[in-house]
Amino acid sequence: MKFFSKFLYVFPSKGTILIPWFLAFVFSSFLEVVGIGIIGPFIGLASNPALIHQQSWLDQIYKTLEFRQESHFIAFTGLLVVVLFCVKAFLCWYVQSRIFRFSYQQKEKLVERLMHGYMNAPYVVYIGKNSSQVIQNVIGLTRAFSDSMLSPMLVAASNVVTIVAVSLLLCLVSPLAVLALLFIAIPLIFLFSAFKERVRTWGMQLYEADQGIIRGINHGLGGFKETRVIGCGSFFAQETINHAHTFAEASLKFYAFKLSPRFMVEALLVIFVVGFTSISLLSARNMEQLTPVLSVFALASIRLIPSFTNLTNGISTIRNASPSLNQLYLDLKELEESTVASSLRQLPSSGTHIPELNFERELVLDAVTYRYPGAASNSLEGVSLTLPKGQSIALIGRSGAGKTTLVDVILGLLEPQSGDIRVDGVSVYKNIRGWQNLIGYIPQAIFLIDDSFERNIAFGVPDHLIDPVRLDKAIQAAQLTDVIANLPDGIKTRVGERGIMLSGGQRQRVGIARALYHEREILVLDEATSALDNETEALVTEAIKSLSGTKTMIIIAHRLTTVEHCDRIYVLEKGQVVKSGRFRDVVLGDYLVTDAENH
């Protein structure tokens, strides 16, 4: 029951949608039984045409349709059998193809559900996730749910109905069929019982190895320069190869086991049919009576072998994929419960209107306190500050002082345990998405996609909605005009993965242009120049200074020259504001002189 409760929780549609599929399986199985059931009587009729007149209902049809020869009636009956089998084959194919279509539609919905879950999850949940695990969940686990859970389950249900229907037919034809079914079923039950835990273990090994392969690739290629210079590429390659070997071994064992039921069923059915025929002949049973029975058994065997094989393969595949189901269940539970528990709503549903948050006067942080989950002490303790519109402030202090945590709170990524952030007297937590629509974030490491300047600046905007006027203004304000003018394809030039084709200063200015294109009122710069050389820093700082008075800015920096133009400086220590004032007042104090020497 736990398995089905987890399955229905992960299943992205309502469980009642499965009922029509069950009815379709019953109907197709009915056609299977009718198709198989008429073969025996037809062969009996063909071998003994006198049966036409011995059976009153057949004789009535013969006379009504005005047949003159028995052979013509038998040929007509054969034509009906052929038509019925063709209709049955088409309907069975149609049902099976719809099963796979349905499964992949559910995969699409599950990917959507997971992506919305990750995008809506609180920031603390995201930072606790490994990127390879997230990639594996969205790509690998959804594929496993569709291909190795939902499709096999539907196919198995179809085969169960078919096996039951055909078995009932065989039992009506000959009571010995019960013995045949037990002869086949009991060894299969023992086989699955013996390998039940091993199949689950192989499934867990496949899941962990697949995730390990992705992680090894990320580690080895994510820091390609460092890997090449240090010379540790072979370490990451070997790590990936080890996981690939584990994956191959687990796959080999599982698929070898998966093949065994087919050959076992074939052997057992052949043994039973040959044995049944031999015993019947030895007991001097009439061969004329035996022929139709054997015909039904032969045709039923042709249908039962793939049904038994598909059923056993489906059960094996489902058990093998159970670790994937467990992981999906745990991840979806965590994502949805954490999203419900948090008041920070990041991604509105489609079509939802987001009311604007007006920013005309000032931004106020009022006694903001924050503690990370599981931490022993607060990272922020009663932080208060005021930022009038159009002014700029700087947050400075030693590493670990709480600057980045404070920025994450301001960005609406972390929700404080106490205190409030207000814009013109209105709490931002009443409209967190509206608040985030006011903010442009420029971190130390700008995230750039492997695409053109245009798409990186108008980040997340479809091509047909990109405003060329706004784009040009953003490029000019970020001082990127000369850079783009010297490129062979202008703004259509690709920047490479993570902006590898650009210098550090150019990447930072693309980040500034991105924030300006989206016309954000408040710019948050988190160590935006700390990794740059002096000349490049001067260019980026000049671009930032040019925005003074037109944009409200919050700047985190270690280099004091970066923040000398700010209207107010806040010094943080151990999560508290210990000093604030104008640049000259704070810089001339003993505290910051010492801090400047350390950095």
Mind listing the pLDDT tens digit for each residue in 540-596?
A: 667 666 666 678 888 887 777 777 778 888 888 888 988 888 877 776 654 444 554
Q: DSSP 3-state assignment of 19? A: helix
Q: What is the domain-level CATH number for residue 452?
A: 3.40.50.300
Would you mind telling me the total number of residues written for the chain in this entry? 599
Note whether residue 253 is domain-resident.
yes
Q: What phi and psi values does residue 462 have, to the nearest 5 degrees?
A: -60, 150
Which secondary-structure segment (H or E) carries 67? Answer: none
Inside any domain, residue 351: no
Report the alpha-carbon distance of residue 399 to residue 563 in Å, rounded.
Answer: 17
Confidence of residue 321 (pLDDT cuts 50, 70, 90): confident
Q: Which residues have a Cβ under 8 Å from the Cβ of 336 and sit 6 or more positions away? A: 117
Indicate if 281 and 376 belong to the same structural domain. no
Query: Three-state DSSP class for 531?
Result: coil
- Under a CB-based contact definition with an 8 Å cutoff, are residues 142 and 103 in contact? no
CA torsion, ordered 260, 262, 267, 270, to nearest 10 deg: 180
**Domain presence at residue 352:** no
Of 246-255, 275-284, 295-304, 486-495, the one with minimum mean pLDDT is 295-304
Over pLDDT 70: what percentage of the chain?
81
Last residue in a domain, options 345, 370, 403? 345
DSSP state for residue 467 in the 8-state scheme: -
Number of domains, the chain: 2
Residues 18 and 68 in one domain: yes
Higher-confidence position of 517 and 176: 517
Q: 537 pLDDT exceeds 80?
A: no
**CA 43 to CA 54: how far, in whole Å?**
16
What is the per-residue burial (b if ≥16 Cβ within 10 Å, else e) of 320-329?
Answer: bbbbbbbbbb
Last residue of a domain, one of 299, 314, 345: 345
Instruction: In whole angstroms, give the CA distance from residue 459 to residue 330.
Output: 32
Shared domain check, 372 and 288: no
Taking the alpha carbons of 262, 268, 272, 275 in that order, is the dihedral positive or negative? positive
Q: Domain for residue 26, yes or no?
A: yes
pLDDT band, residue 59 (cuts 50/70/90):
confident
Query: In terms of residue numbers, what domain contains 475?
Result: 362-597
Looking at the chain, the whole-number percentage of residues with pLDDT higher than 90 is 3
Strands of 576-581's sheet, edge to edge? 439-442, 522-526, 552-556, 392-396, 568-573, 576-581
Do 445 and 335 lie in one domain? The reply is no
Residue 385 Cα to chain centre, angstroms: 41
Contact 62, 73 (CB under 8 A): yes
Find the Cα–Cα–Cα–Cα dihedral 93, 97, 98, 100, rounded to 10°.
150
Query: What confidence tens digit (pLDDT) does each residue in 377-434 have?
Result: 899 999 999 889 888 888 888 888 888 889 889 988 888 989 999 999 899 888 888 8
The pLDDT tens digits for 116-163 are: 888 777 777 777 777 777 887 888 888 888 888 888 887 777 778 777
The pLDDT value given to residue 541: 67
Pick 384 or 310 by higher pLDDT: 384
Distance (Å, whole) CA 523 – CA 439: 6
Report the pLDDT value the prediction gives residue 227, as an integer from 0 to 100: 66
Residue 466 lies in a domain: yes
Q: Say if 353 falls within a structural domain.
A: no
Same domain, 389 and 415: yes
Cβ neighbours, 10 Å, residue 48: 13
Q: E strands of 260-371, at which residues? A: 362-370
Give me the mean pLDDT over the 19-32 stretch.
Answer: 74
Give the pLDDT mean for 297-321. Answer: 73
| 459 lies in the same domain as 325 | no
DSSP H helices, 38-69, are 39-47, 51-54, 56-64
pLDDT the model gives residue 589: 59
* Statement to judge: residues 376 and 470 lie in one domain: yes
3-state DSSP helix/strand/coil % of the chain, to nearest 5: 65, 10, 25
Residues 6+ positions from 473 with CB-CB distance below 8 Å: 516
Query: What is the amino acid identity at position 285?
Result: R
With a cut of 50, say whether residue 599 has pLDDT above it: no
Residue where a domain terminates, one of 314, 345, 376: 345
Instruction: Give the number of C-alpha atoms closer than 13 A to the C-alpha of residue 464, restricted to the C-beta side.
Output: 0
Name the DSSP class of 495: -
Q: Please choose, from the candidates 580, 120, 124, the residue with its C-alpha nearest in 3D space to the C-alpha of residue 370.
A: 124
* Per-residue model confidence (pLDDT) at position 228: 64
The answer to whether residues 328 and 376 belong to one domain is no
CA gap 233, 497 in Å, rounded: 20
Residue 182 lies in a domain: yes
Q: Are 586 and 571 in contact (CB under 8 A)?
A: yes
Give the C-alpha separation, 289 to 287, whole Å. Answer: 5
* Mean pLDDT confidence for 7-34: 76
pLDDT at 369: 93
Lowest mean pLDDT among 221-225, 248-252, 334-338: 221-225
325 & 393 share domain = no
Pairing of strands 522-526, 552-556: parallel
For residues 436-442, average pLDDT: 85
Please name which of 517, 512, 586, 521 lies closest in space to residue 545, comparing C-alpha atoms: 512
pTM of the model: 0.65
| DSSP sequence for 371-435 | --TT-SS-SEEEEEEEEETT-EEEEE-STTSSHHHHHHHHTTSS--SEEEEEETTEEGGGSHHHH
What confidence tier does 226 reach under pLDDT thresholds 50, 70, 90?
low
In this structure, are residues 583 and 564 in contact, taking their beta carbons and an 8 Å threshold? yes
Average pLDDT score over the chain? 78
Mean pLDDT, range 202-228, rounded to an integer: 75
pLDDT in the model for residue 506: 82
Judgement on whether residues 366 and 285 belong to the same structural domain of the protein: no
CA neighbor of 472 nearest in space, from 457, 451, 486, 487? 457
Give the count of alpha carbons within 13 A of 38, CB side only.
Answer: 16
Buried b (16+ CB within 10 A) or exposed e, 106-119: bbeebbebbebbbe
Q: 254 and 392, same structural domain?
A: no
CATH number at residue 234: 1.20.1560.10
Could you report the per-residue pLDDT of 342-370, keeping only the tens digit for each? Answer: 555 444 544 456 778 888 889 999 999 99
Q: For residues 139 and 277, state if they share a domain.
A: yes
pLDDT of the residue at 177: 59
Is residue 22 situated within a structural domain? yes
